[in-house]
Homo-oligomer: A and B are copies of this chain.
Amino acid sequence: MFIPCGDEPHDDIRMTVNTLHRPTHRDALVHLEAAFEREDMITVFGRCTVDYDGRATSELGPGDRLVVLKPDGSILVHTDEKRTPVNWQPPGCEHTASVRDGRLRVRSTRSNPDERLDVFFERVDQCSTYAVDDRSDLELFGSEEDLRQHILSDPDILETGFEPLETERQSDAGPVDIFGEDADGNPVVVELKRRRVGPAAASQLRRYVDAFHREFGDGETIRGILVAPSVTDRAAELLDREGLEFVALDPETGERPPEANDESGPETEEEEE
């Protein structure tokens, strides 16, 4: 069992990859169960059908696919297309394998919500297990958090005289990205987005501003500013109708984008109420 694949022996003591080529279902089963035990990462190439029942329900007819089983309990069924697996199960599931009706069944289940994914192989072309050592974490730049840091370290890039007072300030509608004051002392609610914004972001900002209106009373003038690299026309109209503002900023640089649809150009005519 677990004979390393290849024609000559290798000088490594510990084999990280164990591969079965065209195994019988029973051999694949033993291979899989040992890998579950070792917490290896597993790939299976083969012809299969897939059955899912959980938050939704799905059926997938026969085809050649790549199935990936991870030691964290996730499973992915990949066809030859798309970045998204055709079927899957998130981390935290229990994997089991068995042979039924002449087919290899790989089952992944979880509760809360109750979900079950069955992959039935009529043929296994290859079954590999891989002992993984990975301690590196991804470093990502250009997130909304980066945009926030840009504004906090130089608030004038948002607006001259803007003073941030609190991040993640709680409101009745949830935590607000940046809460602060403008040069005139008016409260300002700032909502950040790392990419071009549509109507949903405008509505989100509106919910926050409304919450402060309820908190502070109708007397106060509360400004809402949406910050993103650019904005769609419909979102710009919505912001306009709601008396909200837009400022164009790039999340990677924290600077005004070269020439964005920022709508904050020359004609900054606001409706006084």
Contact = CB atoms under 8 A, between A and B. Distances in A.
A43 B43 contact: yes
A35 to B, nearest CB: 12
A140 B12 CA distance: 46
A228 B145 CA distance: 32
Contacts of A63: 132-136
Question: What band does the interface of chain A fall in when counting residues whose beta carbon is under 8 Å from B?
Answer: 35 or more
Contacts of A139: 58-60
B83 A74 contact: yes
> Copy number in this complex?
2
A204 B207 contact: no
Nearest to A59: B139
Contacts of A206: 203
Interface of A: 3-7, 10, 12, 16-17, 19, 21-22, 41, 43, 45, 49, 55-66, 68, 70-72, 74, 76, 78-83, 85-91, 125-126, 128, 130-143, 173-174, 194-195, 199-200, 203-204, 206-207, 234, 238, 251-252
14 contacts: A4-B21, A6-B22, A16-B64, A17-B125, A43-B43, A57-B141, A58-B139, A58-B140, A60-B136, A60-B137, A68-B68, A74-B82, A83-B89, A203-B207
